[in-house]
């Protein structure tokens, strides 16, 4: 007994900071923390709106509004986990949706529209991937170029009037089809990322690329797989976008790449990838952003200030969620 006391006595005492660090280093922290923050924000808005925020209409609205960004954020988690960045996903989605809508105008078939949008999404993401893998161009650079080029092509293709898709037909598919497709994609991503070798390889590459290659992982193949998963998600988001709006305008997807990155990071994912990556983050982040937007609007925050509040919330949540390094975080991503 006395020996045990002696041992305890000799052990260094844990300070509050140490204890916080231990909690923050827990493997489930990146998942639980953003989720708890979401719940806290949600509860705050329920109080501030006198309970109106808990209305089922609000909840359904939040889910519906988050769906497109959530799908894309889930998709890019595969890319981010390897330490690569792609901020062109918004414009890829836009061009995919544009070509899908054009295909619909030619064939008047929703099936064709869905197939074309998905296919274009995958092809464009693979094109970005090829530029990176074959020509060794940093993914962020590829994304900057792709953003502008895809955006310009979409603008030319759309022209003065939005490309219309029968929105009544869209409405039929909008509800259940969207929910089922998203849940299916989300579950597949979740399983592939956390329960299969695909996810393990991607996280390993993100953690240490050289080490991963030394252990026999085919880096190029793994990264290509990540882009295929992302392409499917981006294509699916394009389909969701067409189904929701019933037409494709010139501005489709512009700026959405940044929204996706914001959501992903807010959900607890590091853009440097690695072992703590997860596909869950995108969904949580997208919902958090939507909850913030809706909640702030409902409590009467002027529209011009909403962005500022979003920025402050974002910085605080990211700070609380990230591991504080002894040196400054940096990485040559360009």
Instruction: Return the closest-CA partner of residue 266 out of 323, 212, 318, 309.
Output: 318
Among residues 29, 63, 177, 309, the one that binds another protein under rule CB under 8 A: 309
Tokens 């990146």 correspond to 30
- Window 266-305: residues binding another protein (CB under 8 A): 270-272, 293-294, 296-305
Nearer to another protein, 159 or 216 (CB): 159
In the complex, least distance from residue 85 CB atom to another protein, rounded to whole angstroms: 8
Q: How many whole angstroms separate alpha carbon 332 and alpha carbon 268?
A: 21
The least CB distance from residue 115 to another protein, in Å, is 22
In the complex with another protein, which residue's Cβ is closer, 191 or 316? 316
Which residue, 6 or 55, is less far from another protein as judged by CB? 55
Among 31, 115, 141, 173, binds another protein (CB under 8 A): 141
Binding track, positions 216-255, relative to another protein; x by CB under 8 A = -------------------------x--xxxx-xxxx--x
Does 261 help bind another protein (rule: CB under 8 A)?
A: yes
Rounded to whole angstroms, how far apart are CA atoms 234 and 117?
A: 9
Residues 156-215 that bind another protein (CB under 8 A): 156, 159-162, 164, 167, 171
Site size toward another protein, by CB under 8 A:
89
Contacting another protein within 82-111 (CB under 8 A)? 85
Please give the angle made by the CA atoms of 241, 67 and 180, to the nearest 5 degrees. Answer: 95
Q: Which is nearer to another protein, 201 or 293 (CB)?
A: 293
Q: Which of 126, 133, 137, 224 binds another protein (CB under 8 A)?
A: 137
The stretch near another protein (CB under 8 A) out of 50-58, 118-126, 209-217, 277-285 is 50-58
If one asks whether residue 312 binds another protein (CB under 8 A), the answer comes out as yes
In this chain, which of 20, 152, 191, 197 binds another protein, going by CB under 8 A? 152
- Scored b (16 or more CB within 10 A) or e, 67-82 reads bbbbbbbbbbbbbbbb
Binding span for another protein by CB under 8 A among 24-32, 190-198, 217-225, 318-326? 318-326
Using CB under 8 A, pick the residue from 14, 145, 172, 191 that binds another protein: 145
- Does position 77 interact with another protein (CB under 8 A)? The reply is no
Near another protein by CB under 8 A: residue from 3, 111, 135, 216: 135
Provide the minimum distance between the beta carbon of 150 and another protein in the complex, in angstroms, as a whole number: 10
We find the least distance from the C-beta atom of residue 196 to another protein, in angstroms, to be: 28
Which span sits near another protein by CB under 8 A: 57-65, 76-84, 173-181, 227-235?
Answer: 57-65
Q: Site residues for another protein, window 19-48 (CB under 8 A)?
A: 48
d(CA 28, CA 53): 28
């Amino acid at each position: 007994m006395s020996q045990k006391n002696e041992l305890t006595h000799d052990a260094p005492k844990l300070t509050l900071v140490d204890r916080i660090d231990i909690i923050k280093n827990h493997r489930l922290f990146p998942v639980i923390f953003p989720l708890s923050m979401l719940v806290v924000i949600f509860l705050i808005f329920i109080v501030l709106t006198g309970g109106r925020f808990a209305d089922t209409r609000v909840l359904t609205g939040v889910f519906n509004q988050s769906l497109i960004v959530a799908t894309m954020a889930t998709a890019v988690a595969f890319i981010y986990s390897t330490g690569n960045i792609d901020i062109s996903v918004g414009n890829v989605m836009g061009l995919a949706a544009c070509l899908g809508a054009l295909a619909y105008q030619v064939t008047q078939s929703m099936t064709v529209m869905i197939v074309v949008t998905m296919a274009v999404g995958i092809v464009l993401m693979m094109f970005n991937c090829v530029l990176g893998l074959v020509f060794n161009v940093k993914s962020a650079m590829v994304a900057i170029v792709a953003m502008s080029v895809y955006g310009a092509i979409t603008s030319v293709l759309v022209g003065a009037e939005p490309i219309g898709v029968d929105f009544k037909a869209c409405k039929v598919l909008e509800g259940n089809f969207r929910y089922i497709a998203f849940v299916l994609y989300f579950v597949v991503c979740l399983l592939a990322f956390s329960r299969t070798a695909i996810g393990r390889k991607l996280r390993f590459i993100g953690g240490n690329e050289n080490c991963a290659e030394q252990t026999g992982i085919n880096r190029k193949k793994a990264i290509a797989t990540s882009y295929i998963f992302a392409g499917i998600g981006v294509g699916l988001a394009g389909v969701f976008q067409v189904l929701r709006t019933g037409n494709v305008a010139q501005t489709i997807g512009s700026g959405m790449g940044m929204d996706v990155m914001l959501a992903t990071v807010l959900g607890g994912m590091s853009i440097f990838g690695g072992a703590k990556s997860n596909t869950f983050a995108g969904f949580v982040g997208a919902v958090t952003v939507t909850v913030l937007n809706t909640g702030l609007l409902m409590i009467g925050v002027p529209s011009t200030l909403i962005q500022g509040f979003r920025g402050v919330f974002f910085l605080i949540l990211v700070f609380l969620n990230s591991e504080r390094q002894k040196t400054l975080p940096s990485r040559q991503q360009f």
